């Protein structure tokens, strides 16, 4: 027996919660039909108790069908449809039916039908209905008159039905062997269907609950190879050089967009491409991204206002999103607004700059030094320069995953807006620092945030350029004094500062509402952030996903895009726009019933 489906990029091993058999079904369906978005187009999993004739009885999870009518003549025929139609994104769809008992006469039909087809008939007898019947082995294509097709079937046989949504054909299998094409020119949105007509007839369906008898994988591999071969044969001809140059520019802009400075420089040198942004600006953006991804949002806001004056003033929605994220990080104990209260290392007591006001109209501020004693660390509405060791969580490009409102984009921050114009050379917002850090230090390496908490690190802005300090050092004593997985790191003063910050955030929300009108996105963002305080363990609560470090990524992406846009550079790299366009094209193909989209997935070309 052939296991249903080989591994796929989106197959995954994780299964949704539920009984083991449901988990196995979900895994098998994902492996077989990775292109199907089951939230939009659910796959058939059982027979429908609502879409059947009353002579049909269902049992065993609506997978077993038995006949309970009189069975005197064809007027006593009865059918049942599956719960959902076959999604076009399957490309190739397959289900099997086992004949538990042929009953009195074995007048059974297995096939397909459209919504609305009369269920007081066997499949194949009416328009938009197709069936293979067991008593005579005939196929019925929207007609009461059958055509010779295959062998008869009886008790113990397993009949499979395969729908090819690429060429709109259907073939059947018997006990694992193909019987050849039965129907052509099939319409879309057909439902798996079975029909019975005489007493004692019982059949069981397998929509993926068990491995299939027929090796459907091999047939799928054949068609996947056909589609991919068609793509590879796409004519480029004399324009090969243009295509190569275009792809090289797309890769280069992608590296620059995400701050891979030395890699972008090396790539540009090898391919003779031009980087459209000053290296200093790239490094500044990279350092701001690192701060956000480390949960040090307050410092990122200050750095942004000092390096890019006016940017956040003119993007109140972005500022509000950053401030909401900062509040979440204060709950997490990672933002310097609260970490400064528990910092005790000599360096952390030396100085820390004040941070900008919450007001969106507040411009950039200069850094001020505050000398404090060891027993009375102070922290304005600001950011303390503290130390930390490097974290280890890889930052993926433009993450589309967003499971909480705190990471949702405000209405004015459009992640998918296209800007395909040529990049213009950016204005240099900052002068060169006294000592450039090495390219290897600039690269955004894989980072890790243990329990969402990053140890303090020291970064400063000097002469308009972000200066990197001791990012790889570790302050063990600071970490010992800040227990993880406690509200605001377990510090009472930090908790009070967080509450005060929340009040200021509420005031900012009301101010934005007065100036720009009500914003439901802002309201939900604020509610979700504040809801964390309603639970004794915020990390394990209904809104606790906000504290997951991965939720920093959409915020980081929005800020990075806004910085680029302020310099007249594309807010999204052309490579991501091209991939997004290709993915959307495949989704549209699925919606209009073009099954080839299932074997032309973008992910297949990214590995």
Q: What pLDDT, in 10s, does the model give residues 74-106? A: 899 999 999 999 999 999 999 999 999 999 999
Residue 242's pLDDT is what?
82
Q: Over 70: is that where the pLDDT of 127 sits? A: yes
Cβ count near 512 (within 10 Å): 19
Cα dihedral: 183, 187, 191, 195 (round 10): -40
Q: Which of 210-219, 247-256, 423-432 has the lowest mean pLDDT?
A: 423-432
| Mean of all residue pLDDT scores within the chain | 77
Pick 601 or 391 by higher pLDDT: 601
For 34-75, write each residue's pLDDT tens digit: 889 888 899 999 999 999 999 999 999 999 999 999 888 989
Residue 438's pLDDT is what?
39
Task: Tell me if 24 sits within 8 A of 232, measured CB to CB.
Answer: no
Eight-class DSSP state of 572: S
- Chain CA centroid to CA 503, Å: 33
Q: Which of 10-24, 388-402, 583-597 has the lowest mean pLDDT?
A: 388-402
In order of 230, 244, 427, 582, the CA distances from 241 in angstroms are: 21, 5, 31, 22
Residue 186's pLDDT is what?
95
In order of 269, 287, 345, 366, 567, the CA distances from 463 in angstroms are: 30, 15, 26, 11, 20
Residue 18's pLDDT is what?
63
Residue 526's pLDDT is what?
93
- pTM score of the predicted model: 0.59
Residue 508's pLDDT is what?
92
- Between CA 481 and CA 508 the distance in angstroms is 32
Residue 10 — left, alpha, or beta (φ > 0 → left; ψ -120 to 50 → alpha)?
Answer: alpha
In order of 242, 339, 415, 454, the CA distances from 24 in angstroms are: 48, 45, 36, 37
Q: Where are the alpha helices (DSSP H) in 517-607?
A: 520-531, 552-566, 574-591
Residue 160's pLDDT is what?
97
What SS3 string covers 395-449?
Answer: CCCCCCCCCCHHHCCCCCCCCCCCCCCCCCCCCCCCCCCCCCCCHHHHCCCCECC
Angle at the Cα of 553 from the Cα atoms of 309 and 29, rounded to 5 degrees? 155
Residue 432's pLDDT is what?
37
For 505-536, write each residue's pLDDT tens digit: 999 999 999 998 989 999 999 999 999 999 98
Contact partners, residue 212, CB within 8 Å, separation at least 6: 1, 2, 4, 94, 96, 160, 206
Residue 487's pLDDT is what?
83
Cβ count near 58 (within 10 Å): 16
Residue 429: both structure tokens together: 């917002």
Task: Tell me if 504 sits within 8 A of 323, measured CB to CB.
Answer: no
Q: Which of 295-299, 365-369, 569-573 has the lowest mean pLDDT?
A: 365-369
Residue 501's pLDDT is what?
93
For 156-211, write each residue's pLDDT tens digit: 999 999 999 999 999 999 999 999 999 999 999 999 999 999 999 999 999 999 99
Q: Which of 47-56, 95-104, 133-142, 443-452 has the lowest mean pLDDT?
A: 443-452
Pick 7 or 270 by higher pLDDT: 270
Residue 209's pLDDT is what?
94
- Between CA 529 and CA 518 the distance in angstroms is 18
Pick 586 or 387 by higher pLDDT: 586
Residue 204's pLDDT is what?
97
- Between CA 452 and CA 449 the distance in angstroms is 5
What SS3 string covers 170-211?
Answer: EEEEECCEEEEEEECCCCCCEEEEEEECCCCEEEEEECCCCC
Residue 342's pLDDT is what?
64
For 326-341, write each residue's pLDDT tens digit: 999 999 889 888 888 7
Residue 42's pLDDT is what?
95
Confidence band (pLDDT; 50, 70, 90) for 401? Answer: very low
In order of 191, 270, 438, 579, the CA distances from 273 in angstroms are: 53, 8, 22, 21
Q: Over 50: is that where the pLDDT of 427 sits? A: no
Residue 441: both structure tokens together: 């230090």
Eight-class DSSP state of 333: T
Q: Over 60: is that where the pLDDT of 266 sits? A: yes
Residue 375 — left, alpha, or beta (φ > 0 → left; ψ -120 to 50 → alpha)?
Answer: alpha
Render 338-362 in DSSP notation, one character per residue: HHTTT--SHHHHH--PPPPPS-TT-
């Amino acid at each position: 027996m052939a296991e249903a489906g080989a591994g796929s990029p989106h197959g995954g091993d994780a299964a949704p919660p539920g009984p083991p058999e449901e988990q196995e079904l979900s895994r098998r369906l994902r492996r077989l039909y990775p292109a199907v978005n089951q939230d939009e187009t659910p796959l058939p999993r059982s027979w429908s108790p609502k879409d059947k004739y009353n002579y049909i009885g269902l049992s065993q999870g609506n997978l077993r069908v038995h006949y309970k009518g009189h069975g005197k003549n064809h007027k006593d025929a009865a059918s049942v449809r599956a719960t959902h139609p076959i999604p076009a994104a399957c490309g190739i769809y397959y289900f099997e039916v086992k004949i538990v008992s042929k009953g009195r006469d074995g007048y059974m039909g297995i096939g397909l039908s459209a919504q609305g087809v009369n269920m007081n008939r066997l499949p194949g007898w009416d328009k938009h209905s197709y069936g293979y019947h067991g008593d005579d082995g005939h196929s019925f294509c929207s007609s009461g008159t059958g055509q010779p097709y295959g062998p008869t079937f009886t008790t113990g046989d397993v009949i499979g039905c395969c729908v090819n949504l690429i060429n709109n054909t259907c073939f059947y299998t018997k006990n694992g062997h193909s019987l050849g094409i039965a129907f052509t020119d099939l319409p879309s949105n057909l439902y798996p269907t079975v029909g019975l007509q005489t007493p004692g007839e019982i059949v069981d369906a397998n929509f993926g609950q068990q491995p299939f008898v027929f090796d459907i994988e091999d047939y799928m591999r054949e068609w996947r190879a056909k589609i991919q071969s068609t793509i590879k044969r796409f004519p480029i001809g004399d324009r090969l050089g243009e295509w190569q140059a275009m792809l090289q520019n797309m890769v280069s802009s992608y590296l620059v967009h995400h701050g891979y400075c030395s890699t972008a420089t090396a790539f540009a040198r090898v391919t003779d491409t031009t980087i459209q942004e000053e290296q200093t600006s790239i490094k500044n953006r990279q350092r701001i991204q690192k701060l956000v991804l480390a949960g040090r949002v307050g410092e990122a806001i200050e750095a942004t206002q000092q390096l890019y004056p006016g940017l956040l003033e003119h993007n109140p929605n972005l500022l509000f999103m950053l401030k909401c994220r900062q509040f979440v990080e204060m709950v997490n104990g990672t933002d310097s607004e609260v970490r400064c209260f528990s910092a005790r290392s000599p360096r952390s007591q030396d100085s820390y700059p004040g941070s900008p006001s919450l007001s969106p109209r507040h411009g950039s501020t200069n850094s001020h030094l505050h000398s404090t004693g060891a027993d009375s660390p102070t922290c304005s509405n600001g950011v303390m320069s503290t130390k930390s060791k490097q974290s280890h969580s890889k930052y993926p490009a433009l993450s589309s995953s967003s499971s909480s409102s705190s990471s949702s984009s405000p209405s004015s921050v459009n992640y998918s807006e296209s800007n395909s114009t040529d990049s213009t050379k950016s204005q240099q917002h900052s002068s060169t620092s006294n000592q450039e850090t090495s390219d290897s230090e600039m690269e955004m390496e894989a980072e890790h945030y243990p329990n969402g908490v990053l140890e303090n690190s020291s970064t400063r802005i000097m002469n308009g350029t972000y200066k990197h300090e001791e990012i790889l050092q570790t302050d063990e004593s600071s970490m010992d004094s800040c227990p993880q997985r406690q509200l605001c790191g377990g510090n009472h003063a930090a908790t009070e500062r967080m509450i005060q910050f929340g009040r200021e955030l509420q005031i900012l929300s009301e101010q934005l509402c007065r100036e720009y009108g009500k914003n439901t996105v802002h309201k939900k963002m604020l509610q979700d952030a504040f809801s964390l305080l309603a639970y004794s363990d915020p990390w394990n609560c209904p809104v606790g996903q906000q504290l997951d470090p991965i939720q920093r990524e959409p915020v980081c992406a929005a800020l990075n895009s806004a910085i680029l846009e302020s310099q007249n550079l594309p807010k999204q790299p052309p490579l991501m726009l091209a991939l997004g366009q290709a993915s959307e094209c495949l989704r549209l193909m699925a919606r209009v019933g073009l099954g080839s989209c299932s074997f032309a997935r973008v992910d297949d070309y990214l590995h």
